[in-house]
Amino acid sequence: MAGNAPVGVFDSGVGGLSVLREIRQLLPHESLLYVADSGHVPYGEKSPEFIRERSRVIAEFLLAQGAKALVLACNTATVAAVAELRERYPALPIVGMEPAVKPAAAATRSGVVGVLATTGTLKSAKFAALLDRFASDVRVITQPCPGLVECIEAGALEAPATRELLQGYVAPLLAEGCDTLILGCTHYPFLKPLLRRLVPDSVSLIDTGAAVARQLQRLLEQGQLLAAGPAQATRYWSSGSPAQMQRVLPVLLGETAEVRAF
């Protein structure tokens, strides 16, 4: 497959744009395709079977568009579907998300780590296994965050309602002595500026977007699939309202682009 073929990225909504931003920064020559499954957001409350079905449909679409690799820029989709997609497409580079338990456990000084995530991620066996493997010496406090994804989908990053919701989720974690917060959903890095104003400077905020970009780079190098560039303009699709995604793109990525219906 030609190295200049695009990389396909998808998420339950616009959250995966935080990962796309990291991929662009590390791999500026790569052309990117992005599907937001905003018609079914959030995935965190959906069944694993439903998420697997959606992931299959989106993966097939991205491959039909010529994608040379896939990035599941969604923790919940990774938990539910990445194993099946790797089985289905054994020769295809596929990168998933993983909550940053290992770096958080290494970073904490108080020995208390907080996790902000969706219900689906926190319930998963994969997340439990990560805790067993990397967090045996630290106390991990998990906080499901219903409603936050919808605020970000609306582009309401600084709205009073978003601030109130986020403050309510963070306060009990700080009260327990957390000095490290894992952003366990790809939507949440867009709330970093607001979060920084709600927590002390001594609290570390950790997400895995940059690590995912590095893993994509490694897999493309292994397959001799790195693009020489120049990158084509990113193409976007949404299964929700394309017009709504067009409105939030400038808020989240600082750019305007056409969004097609998926």
> What are the structural domains of the chain?
7-97+209-261 (3.40.50.1860), 101-206 (3.40.50.1860)
Show contacts of 151-154: CB within 8 Å, 24+ apart: 152/13, 152/14, 152/15, 152/187, 152/188, 152/190, 152/191, 152/252, 153/13, 153/14, 153/38, 153/41, 153/187, 153/240, 153/244, 153/248, 154/244, 154/248
For 15-29, what is each residue's pLDDT tens digit?
999 999 999 999 999
> CA-based Rg of the chain, rounded to a whole angstrom?
18
> Is 135 a residue whose pLDDT tops 60?
yes
Q: How many other C-beta atoms are found inside a 10 Å radius of the C-beta of residue 90?
A: 8
Please report, in angstroms and rounded to a whole number, the separation of the first and last CA atoms in the chain: 25
Backbone torsions φ then ψ of 22, nearest 5 degrees: -70, -40
Active site residues: 74, 185
Chain segment 40-86, per-residue pLDDT in tens: 998 888 899 999 999 999 999 999 999 999 999 999 899 999 999 99
By C-alpha distance, which of 224, 196, 188, 236 is closest to 34?
236
